[in-house]
């Protein structure tokens, strides 16, 4: 309760309290610049984190809802085994649809490795069947057993081995983005603490005069806290605005660019950077407050 | 109001003050005299907790200084007006703003009456200097401004360390007359000075006790004063 009251006191009371601290151009600019730079980096880390989050979700959703059946059989048996597999799939619960991929689609899949105009009919390329799942999906173990009985050349791939490392990588990238944001906030707190300590050390006479006339520590601290919080807020607001403009001018998401062109904010995510200046102000508030009370207790 | 009981102050292994016993009652007027370096300023500092006694006890407004929190110290200082030999101000704000600062720090800024501030500036002879910055003031002007700042809160106790040290005789008389008037209003006054003429003149105006520090000890001054 006392702590709450002291926080409130920093914002209330004499609203001109910070006039007792002499203007200090250098620390003022340093604090604003630091807050601005940190806010700029935070917005980009946030964009990266959100983009990887979206990517992880998309990969997870897309790969989780599909499976592929690969049929490798002698030329004469390929059509029969394909038909047998489709028949098994038609009678399996949890399968929405299944279709044999066309030669053109398979050619397109192989194009990145073999180049265009691949003579698919001269190569022993297995037949691929794309399976779309519904509900909870099929019983994969049971399906594998049925396929091995009906079509010995068919191999079911439920994408688990692809999906897990991709989703893990994207999730860790998102975590790294969040850790970066926390490190940036910590760095900003450290820099503002140093600037506040420097300002407090340079204003020993001011503190002496204020104490002589009966100023409580909370009044003196408030003068410094107000100033540094305001500087951090203004600096961070400018940094955030510049970063949001930068993100807005990133290329639009495109299939060809994959992840890199998807960096940015989507929908309501555009509102998230707006809390960065607020967080910067809160960080500055606590950093200055702790530095001020520590310095004042040393001076007593 | 202020009570010292066998209080002493030791610095660097040397006794500056020892075995001081003193009681400042409400409405009393005291002079503190003694040779330069005798410890007058140190005693004043003990009276508003700028220094802690190394021995004995000091009570300010019924509170033992050793038991005071920093907030307690701030609260008692709002009831004490202090005029230092080397008066310090906030150099970046005007003399007028420095004068009203004690009201601001105690949350009474709404009570600032610029008319009263003008009267106060006029009384200490600084009518024309209200908008000046403290570094622009002379030594005497700074002392007068410090006295004005000390009394703006209408404190219960005024501690003045050589308040007339840098002013001419006429201004010194005027400042002392102001302190005498405040004493008649019930304020307690303690003035440290080595100016014996000032003490003699003031004693004709007000009933004042004269204390002398001699060889780290406090004595009541003799009939020569």
Is residue B223 predicted with pLDDT exceeding 60?
Answer: no
Judging contacts by C-beta atoms under 8 Å, the chain A residues touching residue B106 are: 214
Average pLDDT by stretches of 10, chain A with 300 residues: 56 62 78 93 90 79 80 83 89 89 83 76 82 84 88 84 78 87 91 88 89 91 90 95 92 61 81 94 92 85
Both tokens of A44, joined, read 């980009």
Name, in order, each residue with C-beta under 8 angstroms of B131's C-beta and a sequence gap of 6 or more. B94, B95, B96
B158 to chain A, any CB pair closer than 8 A? The answer is no
B112 to chain A, any CB pair closer than 8 A? The answer is no
How far apart (Å, rounded) are the C-alpha atoms in residues A18 and B105?
A: 11
Q: Are A35 and A280 in contact (CB under 8 A)?
A: yes
How far apart (Å, rounded) are the C-alpha atoms in residues A177 and A105?
A: 37
Judging contacts by C-beta atoms under 8 Å, the chain B residues touching residue A23 are: 92
Residues of chain B with CATH 3.40.50.300: 2-79+155-220
Test mutation, B76, B104, B106, B148, chain A, max A CBs within 10 A:
B104
How far apart (Å, rounded) are the C-alpha atoms in residues A189 and A200?
A: 16
Is residue B211 predicted with pLDDT exceeding 70?
Answer: yes
B69 to chain A, any CB pair closer than 8 A? The answer is no
B91 to chain A, any CB pair closer than 8 A? The answer is yes
Stretch B149-159: mean pLDDT, rounded? 92
Nearest CA in chain B to A219: B105
Q: How many CB pairs under 8 A join A and B?
A: 63
Judging contacts by C-beta atoms under 8 Å, the chain A residues touching residue B109 are: 14, 16
Nearest CA in chain A to B68: A300
Distance (Å) from the alpha carbon of B195 to chain A's nearest alpha carbon: 25
b/e map of A21-36 (b: 16 or more CB within 10 Å)?
Answer: beebeebbebbbebbb
Strand partners, A19: none
Q: Are A69 and A154 in contact (CB under 8 A)?
A: yes
Fold of B2-79+155-220: Rossmann fold (3.40.50)
Please write the tens of the pLDDT for every residue from B30-76: 999 988 888 999 999 999 999 999 999 999 999 999 999 999 999 99
Contact B88 A212 (CB under 8 A): yes
Name, in order, each residue with C-beta under 8 angstroms of B214's C-beta and a sequence gap of 6 or more. B34, B38
Q: Are A250 and A210 in contact (CB under 8 A)?
A: no
Residue A215 has φ and ψ, to the nearest 5°, of -75, 135
Q: Are B190 and B155 in contact (CB under 8 A)?
A: no
Q: Are B13 and B194 in contact (CB under 8 A)?
A: no
User: ipTM score here?
Assistant: 0.87
């Amino acid at each position: 309760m006392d702590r709450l009251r002291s926080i409130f006191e920093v914002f209330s009371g004499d609203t001109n309290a910070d006039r007792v601290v002499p203007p200090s151009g250098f620390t003022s600019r340093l604090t604003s610049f630091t807050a601005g730079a940190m806010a700029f980096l935070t917005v980009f880390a946030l964009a990266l984190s959100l983009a990887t989050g979206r990517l992880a979700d998309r990969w997870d959703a897309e790969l989780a809802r599909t499976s592929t059946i690969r049929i490798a059989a002698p030329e004469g048996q390929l059509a029969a085994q394909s038909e047998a597999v489709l028949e098994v799939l038609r009678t399996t619960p949890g399968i929405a649809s299944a279709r044999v991929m066309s030669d053109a689609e398979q050619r397109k899949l192989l194009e990145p490795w073999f180049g265009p105009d691949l003579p698919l009919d001269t190569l022993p390329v297995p037949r691929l069947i794309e399976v779309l799942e519904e509900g909870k999906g099929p019983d994969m173990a049971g399906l594998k057993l049925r396929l091995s009985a009906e079509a010995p050349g068919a191999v079911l791939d439920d994408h688990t081995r692809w999906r897990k490392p991709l989703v893990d990588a994207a999730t860790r990238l998102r975590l790294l983005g969040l850790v970066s944001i926390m490190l940036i906030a910590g760095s900003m707190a450290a820099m503002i603490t140093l600037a506040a300590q420097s300002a407090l050390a340079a204003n020993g006479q001011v503190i002496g005069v204020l104490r002589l006339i009966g100023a409580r520590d909370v009044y003196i601290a408030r003068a410094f806290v107000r100033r540094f919080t305001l500087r951090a807020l203004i600096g961070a607001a400018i940094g955030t605005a510049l970063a949001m403009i930068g993100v807005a001018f990133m290329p639009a998401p495109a299939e060809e660019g994959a992840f890199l062109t998807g960096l940015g904010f989507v929908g309501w995510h555009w509102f998230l950077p707006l809390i960065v200046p607020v967080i910067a102000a809160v960080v500055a508030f606590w950093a200055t407050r702790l530095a001020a009370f520590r310095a004042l207790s040393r001076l007593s | 109001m202020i009570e010292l009981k066998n209080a002493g102050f030791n610095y660097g292994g040397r006794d500056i003050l020892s075995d001081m016993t003193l009681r400042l009652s409400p409405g009393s007027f005291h002079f503190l005299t003694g040779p330069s370096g005798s410890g007058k300023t140190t005693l004043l500092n003990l009276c508003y907790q700028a220094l802690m006694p190394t021995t004995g006890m000091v009570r300010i407004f019924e509170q033992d200084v050793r038991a005071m929190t920093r907030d307690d110290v701030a609260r008692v200082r709002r009831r004490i007006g202090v005029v230092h030999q080397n008066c310090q101000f906030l150099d970046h704000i005007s003399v007028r703003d420095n004068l009203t600062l004690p009201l601001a720090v105690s949350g009474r800024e709404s009570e600032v009456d610029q008319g009263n501030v003008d009267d106060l500036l006029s009384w200490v002879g600084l009518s024309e200097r209200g908008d000046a910055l403290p570094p622009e003031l002379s030594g005497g002007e700074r002392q007068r401004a410090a006295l004005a700042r000390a009394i703006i809160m209408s404190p219960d106790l005024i501690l003045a360390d050589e308040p007339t040290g840098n002013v001419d005789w006429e201004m010194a008389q005027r400042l002392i007359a102001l302190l005498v008037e405040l004493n008649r209003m019930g304020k307690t006054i303690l003035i440290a000075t080595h100016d014996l003429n000032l003490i003699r003149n003031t004693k004709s105006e007000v009933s004042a006790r004269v204390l002398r520090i001699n060889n780290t000890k406090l004595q009541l001054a003799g009939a020569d004063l």
